[in-house]
Amino acid sequence: MTAIIAFIFVIGVLVFIHELGHFLVAKWSGVRVEKFSLGFGKKLFGFTRGETEYLLCLLPLGGYVKMYGEGVEGNFIVDAVGPGSNAEKAGFKSGDRIINIEGLELKSFERWKQLEAKLESEPLREFEFVIERDGKNIEITSKAQDLDGADNYSEKEYPRGFSNQPIINRLLIVVAGPFMNFLLPFVILPIVFMIGISVPAYLEHSPEIGQIAAGSPAAEAGFKVGDKILEIDGNEVSNWRDVNIQLQTNPDVVLDIQVDRSGETISIPIQAKASSEGLVALGFGEPVLAKIGGVMDGTPADKGELQKGDKILEIDGQPIADWNEMASVIQKNADKQLTMLIERGDKVFDVQITPEAIGENGAGAIGIQVYTDEIIKKYGFFESIYNGVKEAANMIIEVVVLLFGFLYKLVTGKIALGTAGKSLAGPILIAKVSGAAAETGFAQLLQFTCFISINLAVINLFPIPMLDGGHVMYLTMETIKGKPLSQRFLEITQRVGLALLLFVMFFAIYNDISRVKGDIVSSLSKVVDVFKQ
């Protein structure tokens, strides 16, 4: 239930923001907007304000803004009905669509021009009109001349129609949707930082070195377990967060790090590395307990029924002090059965696990993730804005680089088409991840919403018919040709685009169903691994 509610929230926010972009710019451009819908299918709720009908529909997998004059249609609009005019007395209202005259449907612009000539030639004759109003068909009997009390246009000629706007206005309307999806993280993420985000608890701890990786820059520089870091290049540090910031903001330079070693202040120079990993890159940090934070599906740890939260106390009788010591033992014993002493709650028991050989060097691995204690950290107003905007920009860059890097590898053959297909994720997986994020906290759900929003914006700009990028492509071609594209070309390309999108969606849902049986963390890891190949 949590996953369903979270999914509806995420999709609802993204669709609303996207369609709101189209709606606002269309209104600003003077285009007549007939419908603003969240969802597809059967109407659950709706109301009309002004000339626009606002709808909430059954299927929450999208939405749309219906603008008058999108494409070439045969309908005929009645606009600006004069008060007290014959048109008003006959029953016409502003916004009515004339869809049938004397039993002839207005299926084309040419058909309308023929009937228009007939109406003009027989102004006193009464004609049978069928109009569409608020989704219902209404019959009206009226003289042709009665329509003189209103402004009447075919969709192709209507000045407030989408197709009659300057190309620059149409372009702005089209890109406004993706733009709003790009803008959303810059609004939400500062709020997330104010609400409070989950951060590793150790970042707030005093920077006393509890472990040093063998052969690391820290080991070679002479750091020792128990050293407490006081300053980095003259900048005082009070916790591991400060240390991390100093290491990441001073890449590729020799840093002078002062430490307290048994009451004595010692200065140790070390070559910093240009790495976002900070502490990991230099090889020192707090001791990390041999506690499991996650178990990947189908791995030796999964088969051995290890669980998140389990502590590994011993391996083959050897006491395990921390994560690095545990990892070292496992890596050296590929394809050898190990007996692990596990602490789970108030129980202690043995488990037999055989590490798998992975990688070029055949190091052993059992498929577990490190456990990280986390705390909720709240930021002040201005700090939240700064961190939120920075995080939003970084998130956009990462998504763009990831997606286009993946496409480049696909085109150049570095990733097989079949492998790429398996990386597709659809609504079921999004719902599962939404639920997992919601269970972690509302801030995490908002962060995930921002991530999906950026993906939606980028994908929507792909030059595929039926997507916003396809409309940009059409407008670009129209600009080059100097005239509108033919209706036949639009229909054919949109059918091809629709078929492609349906195929991709079908494939994504198939993948989702296959993944449902596995662990969600493992599924996401496989998707990310494909992109990083």
- pLDDT, one tens digit per residue, over 26-43 is 999 888 888 899 988 888
Residue 334 host element (H or E): none
Residues 268 and 395 in one domain: no
- Contact call for residues 98 and 116 (beta carbons, < 8 A): no
* CB neighbourhood size of 120 (10 A): 11
Please indicate, yes or no, if residue 110 is contained in any of the structural domains.
Answer: yes
Residues 316 and 272 in one domain: no
Retrieve residue 180's tokens: 């709003």
Please indicate, yes or no, if residue 182 is contained in any of the structural domains.
Answer: no
Residue 436 host element (H or E): helix 427-440
pLDDT in tens, the chain (533 residues): 678 888 889 989 999 999 999 999 999 988 888 889 998 888 888 888 888 889 998 887 788 898 876 654 545 677 667 777 777 888 888 778 788 888 777 766 666 667 777 777 887 888 888 888 877 888 888 887 777 655 555 555 567 778 778 889 999 999 999 999 999 999 999 999 998 887 777 777 888 888 787 777 888 889 998 899 999 888 898 888 888 877 777 666 788 999 999 999 999 998 766 544 445 467 787 777 788 988 887 889 988 889 988 999 999 999 988 887 888 899 889 899 999 999 998 999 999 999 998 877 788 899 888 887 777 888 899 999 999 999 999 889 988 888 888 788 777 777 776 666 666 777 787 888 888 788 778 888 898 999 999 999 999 999 998 899 999 999 999 899 888 887 788 889 988 988 988 888 887 777 777 766 554 444 444 444 444 44
CATH of the domain at 126: 2.30.42.10
- Contact call for residues 252 and 222 (beta carbons, < 8 A): no
What pLDDT, on the 0 to 100 scale, is given for residue 190?
95
pTM: 0.66
Residues 242 and 368 in one domain: no
Angle separating helix axes 381-411 and 442-460, nearest 10 degrees: 40
CA–CA dist 519, 337 (Å, integer): 24
Residues 422 and 485 in one domain: yes
| CA 62 centroid distance within chain | 14
CA–CA dist 197, 378 (Å, integer): 7
Please indicate, yes or no, if residue 36 is contained in any of the structural domains.
Answer: no
Retrieve residue 24's tokens: 């606002």
Which of 266, 285, 304 corresponds to the end of one domain? 285
Which of 119, 154, 189 corresponds to the end of one domain? 154
Our count of domains for the chain comes to: 4
Rg of the chain over Cα atoms, rounded to whole angstroms, equals: 32
**324 CB contacts (<8 Å, ≥6 apart)?**
211, 213, 288
Residues 520 and 416 in one domain: yes
Residues 221 and 142 in one domain: no
What pLDDT, on the 0 to 100 scale, is given for residue 491?
83
What 3-state class would DSSP assign to 435? Answer: helix
Where residue 102 falls (left for φ over 0; alpha for ψ -120 to 50; beta otherwise) is left
CA–CA dist 354, 142 (Å, integer): 87
Burial of 59 per CB tally in 10 Å (0-12, 13-18, 19+):
exposed
Please indicate, yes or no, if residue 267 is contained in any of the structural domains.
Answer: yes
Residues 298 and 281 in one domain: no
Residues 446 and 520 in one domain: yes
Please indicate, yes or no, if residue 509 is contained in any of the structural domains.
Answer: yes
**416 CB contacts (<8 Å, ≥6 apart)?**
none
**233 CB contacts (<8 Å, ≥6 apart)?**
246, 250, 255, 256, 257
The β-bridge partners of 294 are 369
- Contact call for residues 460 and 472 (beta carbons, < 8 A): no
- Contact call for residues 340 and 353 (beta carbons, < 8 A): yes
What pLDDT, on the 0 to 100 scale, is given for residue 275?
47
Please indicate, yes or no, if residue 33 is contained in any of the structural domains.
Answer: no
Please indicate, yes or no, if residue 345 is contained in any of the structural domains.
Answer: yes
Tokens 């000045």 map to which residue?
159
Residues 390 and 522 in one domain: yes
Q: What is the DSSP string of 465-529?
A: TTSHHHHHHHHHHHHHHTSPPPHHHHHHHHHHHHHHHHHHHHHHHHHHHHHHTS-HHHHHHHHHH
Residues 331 and 441 in one domain: no
The β-bridge partners of 376 are 198
Say how many CA atoms lie within 13 Å of 385 toward its Cβ.
2
CA–CA dist 18, 93 (Å, integer): 31
Say how many CA atoms lie within 13 Å of 282 toward its Cβ.
29
Which of 129, 154, 179 corresponds to the end of one domain? 154
Retrieve residue 452's tokens: 């999906």
Residues 281 and 296 in one domain: no
Residues 365 and 399 in one domain: no
Please indicate, yes or no, if residue 37 is contained in any of the structural domains.
Answer: no
Domain that holds residue 516: 381-532
CA–CA dist 350, 79 (Å, integer): 81
Retrieve residue 111's tokens: 């058909």
